[in-house]
A and B are shown apart, each in its own frame.
Chain A
Amino acid sequence: MNETNDTNPGAIELDAEHWLHAYEQMIRIRTFEEAANELYTSARMPGIAHLYIGEEAIAVGICEALRQDDYITSTHRGHGHCLAKGAELDRMFAELLGKEAGYCRGKGGSMHIADQETGNLGANGIVGGSAGIATGAGMSIKLRGTDQVSVCFFGDGALGQGLLYESMNMAQLWKLPVIYVCENNQYGEYTHNSKMAAGSMVGRATAFGVHAQAIDGQDIRTVHATARLVIERARKGGGPAFLVCDTYRFHGHHVGDIDRPYRTRDEEAEWAKRDPVNLLEAWLVESKQAETEVFERIQQDVKAAVDDAVAFALEASFPSESEVERHVYA
């Protein structure tokens, strides 16, 4: 199954309701991120955040193919993964603001949201740092004999980390149910991946015999269809897979990266034409599965929910002093 494109998005038949749910999830992420950006620029959010806007089709396309008890590991750019796996808006915002009601009681912040109830083993501040964790979760699944799968999200920058290759090798040796999802948004911080990654990206996985594909990460239908196939395969003991999803972050590396001197406005404009939200809208309209009013309604509903969640988080209280020394040890 090396480097082949043996998935056919058309082969996945889903009803409009399913796609509208996926659409809503993408809107939820986008609206969340816009609000996070606003909280940052209005100096109400401490620290920094890395926005996922532009890459929504990947998290949603993959997570819509997962069960609640499947695992994911996430990255510094992790809000989208958390939400796509089912996290609640209010507790997410509360975490971003360092409040006790947050998913990690204010201890983690933007880069470290974990939510075991939805199978989210945690975002990670260390690039590539979750490759081992996701693979270990795959090992645990195998040893416990369940049919869960584990998805490891990481950026193209993480291709520089040796841990990823050690992990993929073991996953293939032991046929672990791990899906490695490389969100290839072209840049690691301020450097294009052509200056960071030699040779073939998918080739890195095929060298281990891991099933690998490069796919269009802006088209949720492709992402989702591919995800379903590799996830089903992994559930049945077929072993790991590696997906390189081509995408683009529409904002800067983090909320403070406004000028983006390392890339051109033309390049950004080209990618903006392939906005994953617009692509799904256009297809749903074209295939007569939905009308524009539906999108507007979803957007309004989500916006209202996001506004409520922000208000909740702003109101919520900070952790008490005694919280600092809790949870150092279990």
Chain B
Amino acid sequence: MSTLENGIRHSPAIHAPGERQITFSQAIHEAVSEEMARDERVFAIGEDIAVAGSVFKVFVGLFEKFGPERVIDSPISEAGIAGIGVGAAITGMRPIVDIMFCDFATLVMDQLINQAAKTHYMSGGKLTVPMVMRTTLGAGSRTAAQHSQSLHALFSHIPGLKVAIPATPYDAKGLMKSAIRDDNPVVIFEDRALFSQSGPVPEEEYTLPLGQADVKRTGDDITIVATSSMVYAALEAADRLAAAGISAELIDPRTTSPLDTETLIQSARKTSRALVVDEGYRRYGVTGEIASVIADGAFYYLDAPVRRIGAMDVPVPFSPAMEDLTIPNVDNVVETAKAMCGRE
């Protein structure tokens, strides 16, 4: 699927004509379904994921296909199902633990951070925890502070965990399949706002490596690094920047851990400017790490300090009048990029 351009891997544009188009939600569904068919050790557990097909309808039909032993409705016991995931993974299964909102992933922190992430290391490599925790992120749906966070930075901080944060259906499917096959605990964050987003996904089987960024668009003047739904904001921004004569390169890291530092640095060296956009809280966020990687690796090539845009450092407010102010948007990206290119 990928071509090489300037030494940077390049996947097809987000809307490639002629190819099969499916939604992000279908892509996740396909990935899980294919992996469950391929490997009988894979099972999924979570609240209302079986009979109801998950509250976001991503798993509709999976229960009918694989039955109650492999698609399991759990009580509202996040810590418990995460623990069951760890234990089952250590003893030969490949669980997918479904946590409806990443805000609720705070309830599984011990199981994930102290148990899953450390078991392989602490056991001197004897035990492995091949489990996936799939969860959702994103603000904008007026669900207030406890149902709107993007907490992927918290997990990216932890050695032993891998973290995927796909933006397109193509990436979602490929990363989910790799996550399931990976021998480590992998947390995959899906943006609820992207579930109905369509994109090209080939019929034939493929996986995507965890730890490989994707160049969503090539450009010369500035590198915009964006994750999850911010990829779409950045794409729109890139269009507007192009109209203003600024050629932006758009890079989606796709996984925050491992992070494809090579691609980020190469691109920043090429364009000499880098702007990082992510929907997590800005403070101590994913943008900070990425900006630092770029500053380190491309320092002598940069014409401007690396800039970053994140969610405001406030709990997400309910009122639409306030919530929208907290989320990075196309205008923020365009304005910052223009300023960085000396074009205010």
Chain A positions near chain B (C-beta within 8 angstroms): 46-48, 95, 98-99, 104, 106-112, 124-129, 157-162, 188-191, 195-197, 262, 318-319, 321, 323-325, 328
For residues 144 through 177 of chain B, which have their beta carbon under 8 Å from a beta carbon of chain A? Answer: 144-147
Q: Decide: A319 and B48 in contact? CB cutoff 8 A.
A: no
Q: Please measure, in the bound complex, the distance between the C-alpha atom of A120 and the C-alpha atom of B317, giving whole angstroms.
A: 20
In angstroms, Cα B321 to Cα A196, docked, is 38
A126 & B146 in contact (Cβ 8 Å cutoff): yes
Residue of A at shortest CB range from B104?
A126
Q: B315 contacts the other chain (Cβ, under 8 Å)?
A: yes
Sample (19) of A-B pairs whose CB atoms are under 8 Å apart:
A47-B141, A47-B142, A106-B318, A106-B321, A107-B318, A107-B322, A109-B142, A124-B146, A157-B75, A188-B47, A189-B48, A191-B51, A195-B73, A196-B75, A262-B51, A324-B314, A324-B326, A325-B314, A328-B315
Query: How long is the Cα–Cα vector from A99 to B77 in the complex, in angstroms?
Result: 34
Chain A residue numbers with a CB within 8 Å of B47 are 188-189, 191
> Quick check: A112 and B52 within 8 Å, CB to CB?
no
Whether A109 contacts B314 by the Cβ 8 Å rule is: no
Chain B residues near A128: list those with CB within 8 A. 76
3 shortest A-B CB distances, which residue pairs?
A98-B319, A109-B318, A47-B142
Q: How far is the CA of A126 from the CA of B312 in the complex (A)?
A: 22
Of the residues B142, B147, B312, B321, contact of A319 by C-beta under 8 Å: B321
Residues of chain A with a CB closer than 8 A to B321's CB = 98, 106, 318-319
Output the least CB separation between B143 and chain A (Å).
6
B331 within 8 A of A: no
- Considering the chains assembled together, what is the distance between the CA atoms of A128 and B48 in angstroms? 17
Residue of B nearest to A105 (CB): B319
Contacts of B51 in A (CB 8 A): 190-191, 262
Q: B322 and A319: CB pair below 8 A?
A: yes
Residue on B nearest A162 in the bound complex, by CB: B79
Flag whether B289 is at the interface (Cβ < 8 A): no
In Å, the complex CA distance between A189 and B79 comes to 19
The answer to whether A46 touches B320 (Cβ under 8 A) is yes
B220 interfacial contact with A, CB 8 Å = no
A315 to chain B, nearest CB (A): 15
- Which one of B76, B104, B318 lies within 8 Å of A47 (CB-CB)? B318
Q: A47-B143, A162-B77 are in contact. Are A112 and B318 (CB under 8 A)?
A: yes
Check: B103 CB closer than 8 A to any chain A CB.
yes
Residues of B122-157 contacting chain A, CB below 8 A: 141-147
How many Å from the CB of B43 to the closest CB on chain A? 17
CB distance from B317 to the nearest CB of A (A): 5
User: Interface residues of B: mostly helix, strand, loop or mixed?
Assistant: loop
Asked if B313 is at the interface (CB within 8 A of a chain A CB), the reply is yes
Judge whether B313 and A328 touch: CB under 8 Å: yes
| Minimum CB–CB distance for B211 against chain A, Å | 33
Kindly report which residue of chain B lies nearest to residue A320, judged by CB atoms: B321
- The A-B contact count (CB < 8 A) is 124
Instruction: List chain A residues, Cβ under 8 A from B325.
Output: 321, 324
A161 B77 Cβ-Cβ under 8 A: yes
Question: Which residue, B75, B76, B319, B325, has most C-beta atoms of chain A within 10 A?
Answer: B319
B55 within 8 A of A: yes
| B67 sits at the interface (CB 8 A) | no
- Beta-carbon nearest neighbor of B146 in chain A: A125
Q: Report A108 CB to chain B, min CB distance, Å.
A: 6
Contacting residues, chain B, for A48 (C-beta < 8 A): 142-143
State A98–B8 Cα separation when bound (angstroms).
Answer: 46
B80 interface residue (CB < 8 Å to A): yes
Distance A48 CA – B315 CA, assembled complex (angstroms): 18
Q: Do A108 and B318 touch across chains, with their CB atoms under 8 A apart?
A: yes
- Once the chains bind, are A106 and B314 in contact (CB under 8 Å)? no
Q: A112-B144, A321-B322 are in contact. List 9 more A-B contacts (CB 8 A).
A: A98-B321, A106-B318, A109-B144, A128-B76, A129-B146, A262-B51, A323-B317, A323-B322, A324-B325
Q: Which residues of chain B from 289 to 344 have a CB within 8 Å of any chain A CB?
A: 312-315, 317-322, 325-326
Q: In the assembled complex, which residues on chain B have CB atoms less than 8 Å from the CB atom of A196?
A: 73-76
Are B142 and A46 touching (Cβ within 8 A)? yes
Within 8 A of A (CB), among B60-108: 73-77, 79-80, 103-104, 107
Closest Cβ of chain B to A102, distance in Å, is 8
In the complex where A47-B141, A157-B76 touch, is A125 in contact with B147 (Cβ < 8 A)?
yes
**Are B144 and A127 in contact, with the CB atoms below 8 A?**
no
Minimum CB–CB distance for A246 against chain B, Å: 19
* A126 / chain B contacts, CB cutoff of 8 Å: 103-104, 107, 146
On chain B, the residues within 8 Å of A191 by CB distance are 47-48, 51-52, 73
**Interchain CB contact (< 8 A) of A189 among B52, B77, B317:** B52
* A101 CB to nearest chain B CB (Å): 11
Chain B nearest CB from A59 CB (Å) reads: 21
Give min CB distance, A185 to chain B, whole Å.
14
Q: Is the CB of B314 within 8 A of A190?
A: no
Nearest residue (CB) in B for A155 is: B76
Q: State A107–B48 Cα separation when bound (angstroms).
A: 29
